Structure 1
Amino acid sequence: MHLLPFTFLFFSSYSLVRAGSANVGDACSQGQNRLQAGTYQFWSECNSQSYCGPDGKCVKKGCRRDDFPFGYQPGDHLPPKCPKGQFCPDEEDQCQTVLPVDSDCQLNRDDQCEGPPNWKDLADISGRGINVNGSVCLNNKCMWANRTLGVDCLVENTPYIAYGTDGEFVDIVSRGNCALGLYCDAAQKVCMAEKNLGEACTADKECQSWNCLASGVCGVSEAVPRHFAIWVYVVVALGIFGGMFGTLFALFWTHRKQRDEEREKRLQYWREQNAFHQNLLQMRETARASILSLPGNGNSARSTMYSRDGAYTDDAQAPILANAAPKASGLRHYMADDGSSEFDDGLMMQPPRQPHDNRF
């Protein structure tokens, strides 16, 4: 295992590269092993499935820290995880036995340190990463997180590059070797009790909620779920149902307007067809009057067909509609005609048939 010294640095940018590109068997240099600026992630010239061995060549990794390590494809052989009492270093070369107090350790690798005898009382179970089994790795040294109130302590501040809505900023993570419920004050270097809600603070570690607000007081933990008043749910429900009914009403109004427009078009079409039909009837009346006014047609058989005394039928009064049957409709009309047709005119103009003589 090659331990890397920690240097307090401030960087304005960093690389997201996780590993190099050299494959197994390719040449590499252990001098290039480093922690990436801003993220402090381990990097070497070898790819994510290998590490740089002591002979200057990339070798397949002998252990892993994660259940689903980066850089492996489905079906690839995964190196084993280390059993209890051992750890897998950043290089992931092979499992090693946990280290005693004052041993060198890698940055934020509390799991590399051996726990104290009363580790159950000191272990952090909150998931905040305060320690691992009561052990911490501060300034690359293994120690126990057992310092009590008012006792001298050690602190380690690590600046990470983070990004927010306003752009890039520095997020400083401060850790110490005080027991649970205490924090190591960076100025006085003594363990102090964590503060309650509303008390003045300068860092998240000072608050029990681990949330120091921008106003400089301890706020509610960001992990606590937020609850809203009943009126908020009522307003949201009314908004949802109002939107639904508003959409339905808008659709109904739009379709009704379209139906009215189509009905007006059909009515206009019927009026035009009816006017055309009336023009045809007037033309036929004019032609009939012209024929009756000719000399010698006063007593002809044809005159009976055009007689104004004849009965009128209702056929000529019907509008010209294809396959139309009498229906109750708003499109009513009132027209009059004598009901004669050109086919009837042709029959009436023929001379009457004479009876046949049946005598031999």
Structure 2
Amino acid sequence: MIVSTYAPILLALGVLGGSVGHGGHCSTENDHLDMFTHKFMSDCTDSAFCTAPNGTCEARNCRRDEYPFGYSVDTSLPPLCAHGSFCPDEGDGCRVLVPLGGPCQLERDEQCSEPENWMELASPYNANGSICIQSTCMYANATLGQTCVTDNTTYVELGPDGNPYTIVVSRDNCRTPYFYCDATQGVCSRSLPWGSPCSADRECEQHNCVTGICADSPETPLRVPAWQCALTILSILGAMAATCIFLTIVHKRQRFEQYTELRDYYYEQMSYRNDIIALHAAAADKITREKGAHAPR
């Protein structure tokens, strides 16, 4: 970590590009990589490059990213380079791939031509088996015990607390992910398996060293043991069965309560009916007796 007094410099140099627009005066002598982020910088804005020897900012002729920085939504983008060519950091135009041993720009592996056996050497840590180490195109084909070359690049970024932190990216020309370059011996060593002690990500087969131990990479799918799958299935089936039994019991209880309510209502209505019939019978009997008492004899 570097001291926090560099934070204003980081914000000023690591984020903002040049300020000279299209058609403005510039000098290619000012082209450089930012000391903190290693981003290509020039006098021109991010959508232009400085021509030589005219010293004029002109619109970029190519781009390396699908969505490049420095363009508005309604601005037409420069084209991507075709297969077999690349767009340099300057963006002045597509160039032919650099052969083995030729110069390349910082960590621009895609600028290097691919080897004949690129399918065997290709990995997420190189471009079709080629890699740019110390600004030189190499093949990532060094194996166990062979001499290797290491390239360490230090980046600086702001942390959550506002202080800058350093990140060191180490790369080598060993065949990844099977080998890595042992910096102390200068030869390729076999990558460490999961659970082995480590000091850097590149030492592990998974390329992920967590608290000194080789761990699975973050994108590795979670492998669930068979007994956990069986236990989960049994738990789900048990929960479904318990739910069905509970709902059945609740339904039966509701039906029983409804049946009891209807039965009580039926008995009550029958009682009312019998009382009314008895009342009518008593009244009719009384009327009959009264008529018989007043009848002439």
TM-score, structure 2 length as denominator?
A: 0.68
Q: State the shift of 1:187 in Å.
A: 1.2
Amino acid at match of 1:111: E
C-alpha separation in 2, matches of 1:186 and 1:172: 14
- Which stretch of structure 1 is more off in the superposition, 187-196 or 167-176? 167-176
State the alpha-carbon separation in 2 of the partners of residues 65 and 51 from structure 1. 14
Can you list the C-alpha shifts for 1:292-314, whole angstroms capped at 9, x where unaligned?
xxxxxxxxxxxxxxxxxxxxxxx
Match of 2:143 in 1: 148
Q: Which has the higher contact order (CA 8 A, sep 6+)?
A: 2
Q: Which residue of 1 aligns with 2:38?
A: 40
User: How far, CA to CA, are the matches of 2:149 and 2:74 in structure 1?
Assistant: 46
What residue ranges of structure 1 are gaps of 5+ in the alignment? 1-9, 235-360
Provide the alpha-carbon RMSD of the alignment.
Answer: 2.3
Q: What is the rounded CA distance, in whole Å, between the counterparts of 1:200 and 1:58 in structure 2?
A: 52
Q: Deviations over 1:120-166 (max 9, x none)?
A: 11111xx4xx1101101100011111111110110001111134456
Question: Map of 1:1-360 to 2, 5 A cutoff?
Answer: 12-13=6-7, 14=10, 15-54=13-52, 55-124=54-123, 127=124, 130-165=125-160, 167-180=163-176, 181-214=178-211, 216-224=212-220
Paired with 1:210 and 1:24, the residues of 2 have a C-alpha distance of: 43
CA contact (8 A) 2:131 2:137 kept: yes
Aligned mates of 1:113, 1:183 — CA distance in 2: 21
1:2-53 alpha-carbon deviations (Å, 9 max, x no partner): xxxxxxxx89542333421111111101111111122101111101221000
Q: In 2, distance between residues paired with 1:61 and 1:156?
A: 30
User: Is this contact kept in 2: 1:18–1:48, CA < 8 A?
Assistant: no
Normalized per residue, the structure richer in helix is 2
**Residue type of the alignment partner of 1:91:** E
**Any idea what SS the aligned residue of 2:14 has?**
coil
Alpha-carbon contact 1:18-1:42 (below 8 Å) kept = no
Separation of aligned partners in 1, 2:189 and 2:61: 42
Does structure 1 retain, via aligned residues, the 8 Å contact 2:198–2:214? yes
Which secondary structure does the structure 1 equivalent of 2:110 belong to?
Answer: helix
Q: TM-score, structure 1 length as denominator?
A: 0.57
More strand by share: 2
Gaps of 5+ in 2: 236-297
Give the corresponding residue for 1:358: none
- What is the CA–CA distance in structure 2 between the aligned matches of 1:195 and 1:176, rounded to whole Å? 16
Provide Cα deviations, 1:161-184, integer angstroms capped at 9, x if missing partner: 134456432211110001121111
1:102 positional shift: 1.0
**Corresponding residue pairs, total:** 218
Q: Which amino acid aligns with 2:66?
A: D
SS in 1 for 2:157: strand
Secondary structure, in 3 states, of the residue corresponding to 1:120?
helix
Distance 2:138 2:33 in 1: 22
The answer to whether the 8 A contact 1:18-1:41 is kept is no
Deviation of 1:66 (Å): 1.2
Question: Partner of 1:355 in structure 2?
Answer: none
1:77 partner amino acid: S
User: Aligned letter for 1:172?
Assistant: V
Change (3 A) 1:72 1:161: same
Aligned residue identity for 2:133: L
3-state SS, counterpart of residue 159 of structure 1:
strand
Match of 1:64, SS state, is coil
1:179-202, CA deviations, whole angstroms, 9 ceiling, x for partnerless residues? 121111111111111111221111
In the alignment, residue 85 of structure 2 is paired with which amino acid? Answer: Q
Sequence identity percentage? 41
1:225 CA displacement: 5.3
Partner SS for 2:120: helix
Please say which structure displays the higher CA radius of gyration: 1
